[in-house]
Chain A
């Protein structure tokens, strides 16, 4: 029996109707009670199994989800009904929500995302003739296909290759989707099973594919490359960290690096801080909202799954998109039936997804960035990070013991999220599985998070905990089984969203909001009681052992039995070769102009420079009351590149977080690109008052075509640079992640094949520890007649700069970082900030000195009078002085009284007083020849700076 309750507003003309479709036989009284529970009588009315009546409209259309797509409102509604009427929904019953609209115009066809949504359209006539819309209950109906297929590997090499690429064949000949196992891997698997004298089952092959995937195993960073036998990760990233920690000795604050779900550092005598930055690029390309929200709640689980469970205290984001105004559609198929979503649609969806994930979870989102380049049209990059707080007394070594129960808690398993790991290890094509699309459920996870980090953890009710992310159970259980030395799983025990899911899907599904724990038998009772009382589902699905193999049974039948050693380490090594090359772009010819007002205003409107208040304002950054230096700084509300949070109520200690990335330098020189990213990530913290000796880094490589030797050469250069500069600044890496195939292969408007690759992108995220929060510095100038200083050298380094991009060119001379010199400056700056000599400071980054001057002035709502003559360094043109992106520079204002003391501290560094803060609302800049090149009112500049995203 399908019931339908329609809820509409009696006060607004907005004709959207909330539709609740309830599959359950209920009497009129029950339906009435339900309806009354779903409306607020003050402004809403309802109809039960009758159409909402609207007078003026031509079209009625209803948008709902496809079967199996997470419907959070429906889940809440179900809980409301069960609680209110004290009844239970059976397996074949359920609730589904949709929205009904009445319009005069025919609904535009890009209204829905066909991967997750359905639409039903009726004319006014049909609507009344049929007495409303059709009752649709998008139930998942699966033909109970719980058989296990054997996969014959005694086939031709071509067939082996095909299986590895496009997946196991179904009975109907269709493929199950990418395994991302290349020929050498398939050979190794065949060899293993030949030894056993049998073929693998589908679930075994799927399981190996998950565990060996680039996404989970990071083979490109692990395997030998050229002369580097121990691989890029060990040789550069890890080695830097090991050597730095060794050198720091007692001063080393790292508590956990690379091994756990997040990296950890000692915050003070009582707490550990964790940080992890993930990417969720491929899912966000298919469904921006779902991809982004599952990204952020997913990385939250890397915090809850850090050590014995840390409390998420900060969310962090970074989005790389194509120009949202770009109008050149791309298609996944030659027939142009599968268009890619427009850059604007992706931007809106991703921004909304992180909004929902963060805000609903009560985790502040103080820091993030936007970066635009049309090479991100095929695949956007969606960086999401989370920091956590863990009491040292709660910290322990994870150790699942033989005999411990394998317990899954949180959400249930469904079709959603099949092949996420293997699919994100490949380029986006028309065969990319839509099953990888999911929508998050933050509240289910919030309940899970609260009960773990606020109760179960400190009751010590489990021995180990980890996230169910990529690869689902197949990865989380197999990973944890390393701790004990083996496991036995009874797959039929895993709670499902709906019946009929094939075993291999249960095993690899990445359905969200789940975690896996090792619970000692004698604690299970208390554990399960606690979970029940917090409305968190917890299920025993098996037992850890030390038998050395990962065994999975389904209704007593063994469906998987693989040696742990082979599962984790059986993949053959694939040495890589790089091909060195030197790019050479032509130098731009830019006519010099006397007056740079217009150019500066245009610069401030550029996507990579302009303010993005619209995001900062919709992401709650005050929850948990830890916000100190906020995303928008000063009276003028200017986006800063660094935020500061104070995570412990009664402590003056704080954390500063920032980042650096310069993809625009990559095609010129990936070594300097990485150097600039590291220097910026460090300098941004320094300018806020952080001691360079208390800075820690995270690396996120988002590369492209990583089977191309030249791309690998760029990768090697970047990794080398990561080692060199981390060593100079003595900033260890505590965590990192890579995503190696951010390419799109599809078709353009004319149906011609096209490949779009992201520029090699390295995000360096930085954390800095602060003892006294009151000594932190903000970017806004504070008082007129304060003195303005530039610290560091300005050179003609505009290759890959925003200014050259504005002039449609790239150039060749990227900023070169002099780490040793900069480090001295940063140490002296810290001295000055500790003596509270500094009134405001802003790190000079993308867009150069011109942009920095404007941001600091706009933020303080005070004018500046500045001369750029004889700056430290060497530049021959006014526009180059303003827009060069030379690294190692900080723009500072100080109280006149502090002049002497400040200059004394700075004396060994390059610095110059270049002007002062003035009372009237103007920006006056004299050029090299001491003639005015900029004379603008702040009002005009602010309009420009805030115009680009005005209507977002």
Chain B
């Protein structure tokens, strides 16, 4: 069985490409990190991949709004290739800064297949400050990315993660069930309807603020020392991995089914 190929973008301040690649490979995929300038030089290589991943980071230092400058660069040079890519049976994931880039590129929510049109925004957190922390999330959509997951706890780390859309757009998003996951109890940023991530109408393009790759190992969990002691006393074996890995497995398995 050949491994599904994942293209992970890099450059200009994106900074989670290494761990995102590792997560996809742990999940059984075959990852390749490609600098945006190399992709621009060789546009067609996008066709060789089943999954496009825009990792987290701080592209262009969030200047002129998070995800804006990097989104523009993709739009100016690669729009044709990307729009073709997303119409095929392919998967796209944008994590944190990657989500902000997808939003500015108009790949999510892309209501009525209007790919390329900006319909929502990710605004500065209510705290007006970069915020990190682990939060419980509940899954509310049937995107293949979240297959079989009902609840999950993941860390966030961002300054601009407050989802915003006009009433009309928000109504559409709800009607078409494009909200992928929501913060369960605490809303860390003042985001609308506790939204932490959304998809497009095909459910194959998925953007989220939390970082699933930061929950791929057991020892990344904030309470792992407690769990370790608990398992030791119960005579249980310690797990190796964390819940975040499942999201990458889902992406890879989509092409194995």
Contact = CB atoms under 8 A, between A and B. Distances in A.
A822 interface: no
B217 A621 contact: no
Interface in B214-257: 214, 216-217, 219-220, 222-226, 228-230, 232-233, 238
A77 B65 CA distance: 11
B18 to A, nearest CB: 8
A778 interface: yes
Nearest to A654: B219
Interface stretch (A265-273, A353-361, A421-429, A511-519): A353-361
Given A42-B165, A646-B219, A774-B228, A80 B37 contact: no
- Among B19, B64, B119, B230, max chain A CB count under 10 A is at B64
Q: How large is the interface on A (under 10, 10 to 19, 20 to 34, 35 or more residues)?
A: 35 or more
Given A623-B157, A649-B19, A618 B130 contact: yes
A782 B220 CA distance: 18
A625 B216 contact: yes
A533 B60 contact: no
B60 A622 contact: no
A617 interface: yes
Given A362-B13, A362-B16, A773-B219, 20 more contacts: A37-B72, A41-B118, A43-B164, A72-B63, A80-B72, A355-B130, A360-B62, A442-B61, A443-B58, A447-B11, A447-B13, A617-B133, A622-B220, A627-B214, A628-B220, A777-B225, A782-B225, A783-B229, A783-B233, A836-B232
A633 B226 CA distance: 10
A76 B130 contact: no
B73 interface: yes
11 contacts: A42-B119, A83-B76, A355-B130, A443-B58, A443-B60, A535-B12, A617-B132, A620-B132, A623-B56, A625-B217, A777-B225
A446 B63 contact: no
A11 to B, nearest CB: 7
A839 B229 contact: yes
Nearest to A79: B69
Given A443-B13, A618-B132, A623-B15, A77 B64 contact: yes
A229 B164 CA distance: 68
Interface of A: 11, 37-38, 40-43, 72-73, 75-77, 79-80, 83-84, 355, 359-362, 441-443, 446-447, 450, 533-535, 617-625, 627-630, 633-635, 646, 649, 773-774, 776-778, 780, 782-783, 836, 839, 895
B57 interface: yes
Nearest to A363: B15
B220 A627 contact: yes
B64 A38 contact: yes
B129 interface: yes
Contacts of A624: 15, 18-19
Contact of A73 (B63, B118, B132): B63
A836 B57 CA distance: 37
A360 B61 contact: yes
Given A620-B132, A623-B16, A777-B225, A42 B164 contact: yes
A617 to B, nearest CB: 6
Contact of B35 (A441, A534, A625, A782): A534
B58 to A, nearest CB: 5
A629 B225 contact: yes
A80 B219 CA distance: 41
Given A355-B130, A618-B132, A625 B214 contact: yes
Contacts of B172: none
Q: How large is the interface on B (under 10, 10 to 19, 20 to 34, 35 or more residues)?
A: 35 or more
A76 B37 contact: no
A76 B157 contact: no
Given A42-B166, A442-B61, A443-B12, A533 B219 contact: no
A360 B57 CA distance: 7
A42 B155 contact: no
Contacts of B159: 359
A770 to B, nearest CB: 11
Contacts of B131: 617-618
A753 B84 CA distance: 72
A361 B56 CA distance: 12
A535 B13 CA distance: 12
A77 B63 contact: yes
B38 interface: yes
Nearest to B68: A40
B130 A73 contact: no
A622 B61 contact: no
Nearest to B38: A533
B213 A774 contact: no
Nearest to A617: B132
A534 B11 CA distance: 8
Interface in B132-190: 132-133, 155, 157, 159, 164-166
Contacts of B224: 628
Contacts of B226: 634-635, 778, 780, 782
Contact of B222 (A75, A362, A630, A646): A630
B111 interface: no
Nearest to B128: A14
Given A72-B63, A73-B64, A617-B132, A776 B225 contact: yes
A450 B35 CA distance: 11
Nearest to A74: B63
Contacts of A84: 72, 76
B211 A622 contact: yes
A446 B58 CA distance: 10
A37 B69 CA distance: 8
Nearest to A11: B164
A447 B12 contact: yes
B79 interface: no
Interface string B100-124: 0000100000000000001111010
Contacts of B63: 72-73, 75-77, 443
